[in-house]
């Protein structure tokens, strides 16, 4: 199964490319949440963060910073979001690892990822214990 992003890497379908190196590629999102909404992908077709070897995690992070800096310098947004969806439940639609960089302007209301909830200290302690127990895996 070839992802739409692999087809962009291969040059089989067009994209508005921003940056490319051996391991990563950045281009504009075709359905932008804001002007300048960009994607950074790992070139190998791996679905999510947990599938990436360390060198790809690093490479995508460095390209994300590079592209975000260019967006900030070019478009002068008030801020930007870096968002990365893993799994359909988290909103992932293209199962080829990618990071969203979304420029933000005061009052644009274009992205709101969660509603703040509440938790007791006991709840927080319990879930922290559960997660820490798996930290070496």
Active-site residue set: 98
d(CA 124, CA 130): 10
Interactions with ligand AMP, residue window 35-64 (CB under 6 A): 39
Residue 94 binds ligand AMP, judged by CB under 6 A: yes
Note whether 57 and 43 are within 8 A (CB).
Answer: no
Q: What is the DSSP string of 34-78?
A: STT-EEEEESS---SGGGS-HHHHHHHHHHHHHHHHHHHHHH--S
Judged by CB under 6 A, the residue of 1, 88, 93, 133 near ligand AMP is 93
Nearer to ligand AMP by Cβ, of 66 and 92: the residue is 92
Judged by CB under 6 A, the residue of 43, 80, 85, 97 near ligand AMP is 85
List of residues contacting ligand AMP (CB under 6 A): 4, 15, 29-31, 39, 85, 91-94
């Amino acid at each position: 199964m070839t992802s739409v992003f692999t087809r962009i890497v291969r040059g089989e379908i067009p994209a508005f490319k921003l940056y490319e190196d051996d391991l990563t590629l950045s281009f504009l999102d075709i359905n932008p949440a804001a002007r300048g909404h960009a994607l950074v992908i790992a070139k190998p077709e791996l679905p999510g963060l947990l599938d990436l070897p360390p060198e790809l995690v690093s490479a995508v992070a460095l390209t994300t910073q590079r592209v975000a800096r260019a967006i900030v310098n070019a478009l002068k947004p008030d801020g930007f979001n870096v968002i990365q969806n893993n799994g359909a439940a988290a909103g992932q639609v293209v199962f080829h690892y990618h990071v969203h960089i979304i420029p933000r302007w005061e009052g644009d209301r274009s992205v709101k990822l969660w509603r703040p909830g509440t938790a007791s200290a006991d709840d927080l302690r319990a879930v922290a214990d559960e997660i820490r127990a798996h930290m070496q895996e």
